[in-house]
Amino acid sequence: MMKEVQTKVELEKIARLVRHDILTMTTNAGSGHPTSSLSAVELMVGLMFGGTFRFDADHPDHLNNDRLLFSKGHASPLFYALWKAAGKLSRADLLTYRRFGSALEGHPTASFPYAEAATGSLGQGLSIGLGLALNAKLDKLTYRTYVLLGDSEMAEGSVWEAMEIAAHYRLDNLVAVIDVNRLGQRGETMYGHDLEAYRRRAEAFDWHTMVIDGHDLEGILNAYRQADQYVDRPAMIIARTIKGKGVSFIEDKNGWHGKTLKKVELDRALAELGEVDEQVRGFIPLPHDLQPDRQPAAEPAPLSYALGDAVATRKAYGKALKRLFPAFPDMVVLDGEVSNSTMAEYFKEEHANRFFEMYIAEQNMAGAAIGFSGRGKIPFVSTFAAFMSRAYDQIRMSQYSDANIKFVGSHAGVSIGLDGPSQMGLEDIAFFRTIIHGVVLYPCDAVSTEKLVAEAARYRGIVYLRTTREDTPVLYEPQEEFPLGGCKVLRQSGADRATLVAAGITVYEALAAWETLQQEGIEVRVIDLYCIKPVDEKTLREAAGDTGLLITVEDHVPEGGLGEAVRSALWNTGATVASLAVRKKPRSGKPQELLDFEEISARAIADKVRELCGREG
């Protein structure tokens, strides 16, 4: 039976063992961040084993477990040593730290079952914690979320985005702990040991604050108990700590960040720590056995679009969320204060409690979605496609959390028109194509949009769906299916001399070019490549074999977009691939003017076909 460790003496024994393990595992690995881990030992030992934190260590997915995130993910040696002290890792496990194939990676990832999310890109943990805390409120669960922050990462804007939104939502179940150890990677942090500077700023963001000695266990335990009593506002514990604490020759000394002890230095450090009790174990109280109310899945209402109806795909996206929610009751929707443009407001009107306004803070919005995803929700995250770039690092990191998130970018391309280049998403396909096992979708009409929203919700992983501002005619019957990895051949004949490959708004330009070329006796194939990743290699290769020439047309820059996806699929076929894309610096103008200017309009497509095929008729 596990011994209940509750007294100060017993916690001190655990802290000594944790320090011993941090030093041993990092020296054995030959890399890591021991000094950044040593500074927060008492803070985290006091949290995990001091009686406040509740967690079923045998069931890390228990719905009412308290959640602990190391936003300062480089302190992973401390994180792993704590779980050894909890009896869930062995000394042998710790000695696999940073080895290829080990779950104990250099910074926590989803491969370690006690990690809430992948961290290590600084400034992201509090946003993820925000999502976890919002989820608890949504599900009416009592679990609390604790986030360990480094003082260096307090310079990141995403931290302050999370702080303002946490205060806005009155998240009294969220506790941030700042490890103020004064030293960053290359020297002193912005405020050094000026704890009052942190307190003033946190209180200005409407957080409860406590300033403590981060190595005084009694003060630490009191702070956690006090944080547990606060209502209506999140709490921040601001702890003065010493980097490298416990080892005299590295304590509070610059130049030791990311540097491990040599074997002779390790022996000296362990001697300073003194004898440790390898058998000591920390006791974690169990959580309350609460379960949220689960709404069973139900059949959604049928689609109701008629061929030729003019509907913007952004509007179809909003309608799809509202229509499909019964089939996907774990859905939540986050938006960056543009829901009347992304049309996520349609969902908000029907399911206000599951809609979360994230305001103009895209980094925090993406981070919060990771938190929701970690608790089993299906977050749909929407803003203008151009503004997704602000959250690229959070999106990049989400793949290492095995996140299940659907990002939706509206107002894509130059076809948005008069608003001008600052509002035009022109690079979004490229960066979403880099996500491992990610899916990139670009529907052209309302039916394909609604069907692809459903496909996105069903897919377990990261999906990007690109929508268009302008109304476009409905091309497809409601019964048409749009499987991931597919495309639609819209025009085809046995005499096709070229294949036009388009997506979204350029599908209509390709169809208009087809009509013009038909009158001139030039037969071309038209493909709606609604799924850009994974791309329909089979259909594209058939078109390459039949026509030998493919012309891609996209309202996106050429680098990393639709054209390059097609080229990748056809790399060894010998087919010629020409790409029409946004190559000039855009400007304000009417949509058709801009499509013509960028040479991705029907006129430009027909001209390119004539150039490459020769004029007939």
d(CA 14, CA 76): 17
Q: 46 is written with which tokens?
A: 């006091």
Give the side-chain half-sphere CA count within 13 A for 223. Answer: 28
Catalytic residue among 105, 116, 161, 362: 362
Q: 495 is written with which tokens?
A: 């005499």
Give the other-Cβ count within 10 Å of 494's Cβ: 6
d(CA 156, CA 160): 7
Q: Give catalytic status of residue 42 as yes or no.
A: no
Which residues, listed in sequence order, are joined to residue 69 by a DSSP beta bridge?
147
Nearest residue to 342 (alpha-carbon basis) of 378, 375, 388, 303: 388
- Note whether 495 and 469 are within 8 A (CB): no
Largest CA distance in the chain: 94
Secondary structure in 3-state letters for 328-368:
CCCEEEEECCCHHHHCCHHHHHHCHHHEEECCCCHHHHHHH
Helix (H, G, I), strand (E, B), or coil: what is residue 410?
A: strand
- Note whether 93 and 30 are within 8 A (CB): no
- Note whether 508 and 473 are within 8 A (CB): yes
| Distance, first Cα to last Cα, the chain | 89
Q: Are strands 531-533 and 439-441 parallel, antiparallel or unpaired?
A: antiparallel
Residues involved in catalysis = 362
